[in-house]
Chain A
Amino acid sequence: MTDERIKPLVMPKWGLSMAEGKVTGWLKKPGSAIKVGDELLEVETDKITNVVEAGEAGVLRRILGEPDTVYPIKALIGVLADSDVPDAEIDAFVAGYVMPAAEEGSEEDAAAQYEFAETPAGTLRYAKRGTGPEQIVLVHGFGGDLDNWLFNIDALAEHATVYALDLPGHGQSIKSLADASLSGMSKALAGFLDKLGVSAAHLVGHSMGGAICLRTAIDRPDLVKSLTLISSAGLGDEINIDYIESFAAASSRRELKPALEQLFEDPNLVSRQLIDDLLKYKRLDGVTEALKALAKNMFPGGKQSSVLADEAAGTKRPVTVIWGASDKIIPASHTAALPAGWRAEVIDGAGHMVQMEKAAAVNALIRQGVGV
């Protein structure tokens, strides 16, 4: 028996490999009135610490997740309900709560959620989630991978079919780049979409991935229904070339950490695990060469080589531009001179990785841009 007025708060699943998370502390007290988007508590995973935001409104009636305690995903950690729901009903709900068994989050499940596609640019890894009629494709930035969408992919998959891929030279995709230019990367994306039979998708690009999406909209408008550009390249010529060069060159934890801290407004989000995972990627044969080749083509002389906004405006596709106000990699001031009709939203309290630092707000904007 379910009561729609009682809304369970469960341990979220951030990304494909998350099986459990640790409650580090609650930001709201029992009895607080909660609005959608309110910051409820902090959860630490082996990759990152983040805030859980309310997806629904209500009164925080029960706090069940104890600080410094690890819970599996989908475990009940709190209860939201209107103030007129009797305590007894809430207690009965808590007592009767059964964790959904289908998502045990075992490693086999997580492994099965990654797939590989043989494309003209080589083998590319991707994840596909959700079943909705609209198709969203998430394209990460320079040095990133599909886990950059940790806090977005599952939320978006409730409303659409979502693909996230590792670009060539990145993540677990092929490490050698057939063509390290922007149009080469765009062709690789188009080749991936063609291979999977994805036509007319909503492209969501972060940073360099945004420039790749812009290029794709210009070259292959048939593939693109809308664009969401997050802290995107291709909208102005400024770029923090120190970051690009130090990220590409860093060979140790000591060198990589200060570079990564520039990505977030809150540098404490850079955990040891995040650094170690990136080092594991960077140490694979061919990665350093791929990153340096991309940097040389995309950012020669410390400037972005391609500014594509006006050309992309000609395609008449709806465009949403999202930026973290304190982005230290590409400045949010690039939102100042966008083509007429493009929506721009600058989000406070976030840096370059705004889709991680302010996931709920970014997810809402992506959904508005896509129309789901």
Chain B
Amino acid sequence: MARKLSYKMAVNEALDLEMTRDPTVILMGEDIVGGAGSPGEDDAWGGVLGVTKGLFAKHGARVMDTPLSESAYIGAAIGAAACGMRPVAELMFIDFIGCCFDEIFNQAAKFRYMFGGKAETPVVIRAMIGAGYRAAAQHSQMLTPIVTHIPGLKVVCPSNAYDVKGLLIQSIRDNDPVIFCEHKNLYAHEVDVPLESYAIPFGEAAIPREGRDATIVTYGLMVHRSLEAAEKLAREGVDVEVIDLRTLSPMDWDTVIESVEKTGRLIAVDEAHPRCSIASDITAFVAQHAFRALKSAPQMVTAPHSPVPFSPTLEDIYIPSAETIAGAVKKTIIQKMVAA
């Protein structure tokens, strides 16, 4: 049976269910027990935003606070995964990934390949992504393109609590390293989530809105902005399809291409910077594989090529808005009218 659950508590519930099901699942991270490491409500905060709250009380020493050294504990998690555990390590903010590039890119992502397919590394690295939290330039980045670039990593970025639970359970059960990106501005967002365990397979996009006139391809927080844009456009008679990629690696190219073949118009929306982004990736792929279906030049909506501003006014302008997305959709349609 289902009930409303927040994005944040869906993370908590997925971790709890998998820890209960499989004794090899362990949690590691900075302050994820919290406080003095006591099971008491006051002391065990469960991480910087309380995502792992209650798990120490239930699962004890399988929830581990680590020193403030990303290279040490991410490395330890990857090593434990190679030796038979299923660690879920919390990187707190994905902005800190630079401290453990070698462990993630050179070790975890390469073990299966370097050891002739004999090594498996079932590690999950959870990290908060995205702007809008007034957390400034070093805690607000959308580094999904950087991790998506690396073969050997799977990259997940859910937009809602239902997907969070099913994709995190799949991430833990998966035998490869998974970078699980959680948008901090969606933590309070609630949808219906079943009580039971379930796994959503990787590489299957969702289509939260079907439409005939144009295709928006996006993920994460931008799914909500795009749906908002689609609602506005519907009132003006433009029927937009919205694709939520859910996983960036593997990517559900079939769903993207099928949709563009139907609508003939593409708008790729990404909260990352424009260069070498998920948006540029999608646009290039569609141009290469569905060029004849396109009725107009694809549009990209991204954040600017600048650090995330700390000024609230500037930060709000930095993040693509529903208005900007709707404007880009109209651009794909007006081009058509001019051409006709």
Q: Mark B187-208, 1 if CB is under 8 A from A, else 0.
A: 0000000101111110010110
The complex places the Cα of A253 from the Cα of B254 at a distance, in Å, of: 12
Let me know if B210 and A272 touch, CB within 8 A: yes
Residues 22 to 67 of chain B near chain A (Cβ within 8 Å): none
Q: Is the CB of A284 within 8 A of B194?
A: yes
Q: How far is the CB of A171 from chain B (nearest CB, A)?
A: 9
A272 touches B199 (CB 8 A): no
Cβ of B339 under 8 Å from chain A: no
Would you call B210 and A172 a contact (CB within 8 A)?
no
A interface: dominant SS: mixed
CB distance B204 to A284 under 8 Å?
A: no
Report B1-19 CB contacts with A as 1/0, cut-off 8 Å.
1100000000000000000
Interface centre among A252, A283, A284, by most B CB within 10 Å? A283
Q: CB of B75 within 8 A of chain A? A: no
Closest chain B residue to A111 by CB distance?
Answer: B3
A114 to B1, CA, bound (A): 10
A225-266 with Cβ < 8 A to chain B: 251-254
How many A-B residue contacts, CB cutoff 8 Å?
31
Q: Is the CB of A252 within 8 A of B1?
A: no
Assess whether A206 is interfacial by the CB under 8 Å rule. no
Question: A284 to chain B: which residues have CB within 8 Å?
Answer: 194, 196-198
Question: For B166, B196, B210, B254, which residue has the most chain A Cβ atoms within 10 angstroms?
Answer: B196
Task: List residues of chain A with CB within 8 A of the CB of B162.
Answer: 280
A84 CB-CB contact with B under 8 Å: no
Give the residue of B1, B166, B254 whose beta carbon is less than 8 angstroms from that of A172. Answer: B1
Size of A's binding interface in residues, CB under 8 A: 16
Complex-state Cα separation, A1 to B309, whole angstroms: 65
| Contacts A284-B194, A285-B196; A251 near B201 (Cβ below 8 A) | yes
- Interchain CA distance A280-B2 in the complex, whole Å: 11
| With A252-B201, A272-B207: A175-B194 Cβ-Cβ less than 8 Å | no
Can you list, as one digit per residue, whether each of B160-181 has a CB less than 8 Å from chain A (1) or not (0)? Answer: 0010001000000000000000
CB of A97 closer than 8 Å to a CB of B: no
- A283 and B196 alpha carbons, distance in the complex (Å): 10
Cβ contact within 8 Å between A283 and B1: no
B242 to chain A, nearest CB (A): 12
Contact of A125 among B1, B200, B201, B210 (CB under 8 A): B1
| CB contact list, B126-168 vs A, under 8 A | 162, 166
Per-position contact with B for A263-303: 1 when CB-CB < 8 Å, else 0?
00000000010001000100111100000000000000000
Decide: A283 and B166 in contact? CB cutoff 8 A: yes
How far apart are B297's CB and chain A's nearest CB, in angstroms?
28
Q: Which of A137-194 contact B (CB under 8 A)?
A: 172, 175
Cα A283 to Cα B197 in complex, Å, equals: 9
Proximity string of chain A (183-223) to chain B, C-beta cutoff 8 Å, 1 when within and 0 when not: 00000000000000000000000000000000000000000
CA distance A252 to B198 in the complex (A): 14
- Check A285 against B197 for contact (C-beta < 8 Å): yes
A92 to B258, CA, bound (A): 50
Which of chain A's residues have a CB closer than 8 A to the CB of B204?
A: 252-253
Which residue of chain B lies nearest to A252 when distances are taken between CB atoms in the complex? B204
CB contacts under 8 Å to B, within A102-127, are 114, 116, 125
Complex contact A283–B198 (CB within 8 A): yes
Known: A252-B204, A253-B204, A272-B207. A285 touches B1 (CB 8 A): no
Q: Which residues of A contact B207 (CB under 8 A)?
A: 272
Contacts of B199 in A (CB 8 A): 283, 285
Q: B194 contacts which chain A residues (CB < 8 A)?
A: 172, 280, 284
- Minimal beta-carbon separation of B233 from chain A (angstroms): 15
Indicate which residue in A116, A172, A175, A254 contacts B2 across the interface (CB closer than 8 Å).
Answer: A172
Return chain B residues, CB-CB under 8 Å to A252: 201, 204
Q: Residue on B with the closest CB to A271?
A: B210
**With A272-B207, A272-B210 given, is the CB distance from A283 to B200 under 8 Å?**
yes
Q: Which residue of A lies closest to B205 (CB)?
A: A253
**CA A175 to CA B194, docked complex, whole Å:** 13
Partner of B198, one of A172, A253, A276, A280: A280
Residues of B within 8 A of A286 (CB): 196
Residues of A within 8 A of B2 (CB): 172
Shortest beta-carbon distance from A286 to chain B in Å? 8
Complex CA distance for A175 and B196, rounded to whole angstroms: 9
Q: How distant is B207 from chain A, measured CB to nearest CB, in Å?
A: 6
Whole-angstrom distance between the alpha carbons of A252 and B2 in the complex? Answer: 21
A125–B1 Cα distance when bound, in Å, is: 9
With both chains docked as a complex, state the minimum distance between the C-beta of B235 and any C-beta of chain A, in angstroms: 13
Chain A: minimal CB distance from B158 (Å): 15
Q: A283-B198, A283-B199, A285-B198 are in contact. List 8 more A-B contacts (CB 8 A).
A: A253-B204, A254-B254, A272-B207, A272-B210, A280-B162, A283-B200, A284-B196, A285-B197
Could you list which residues of chain A lie within 8 angstroms of chain B, going by C-beta atoms? 114, 116, 125, 172, 175, 251-254, 272, 276, 280, 283-286
Interface residues of B (CB under 8 A from A): 1-2, 162, 166, 194, 196-201, 204, 206-207, 210, 254
Give 17 A-B contacts (CB < 8 Å), ordered by A residue: A114-B1, A172-B1, A172-B194, A252-B201, A252-B204, A272-B207, A276-B206, A280-B162, A280-B194, A283-B166, A283-B199, A284-B197, A284-B198, A285-B196, A285-B197, A285-B198, A286-B196
By Cβ-Cβ distance, the 6 closest A-B pairs, closest first, are A285-B197, A283-B198, A172-B1, A284-B198, A284-B196, A252-B204
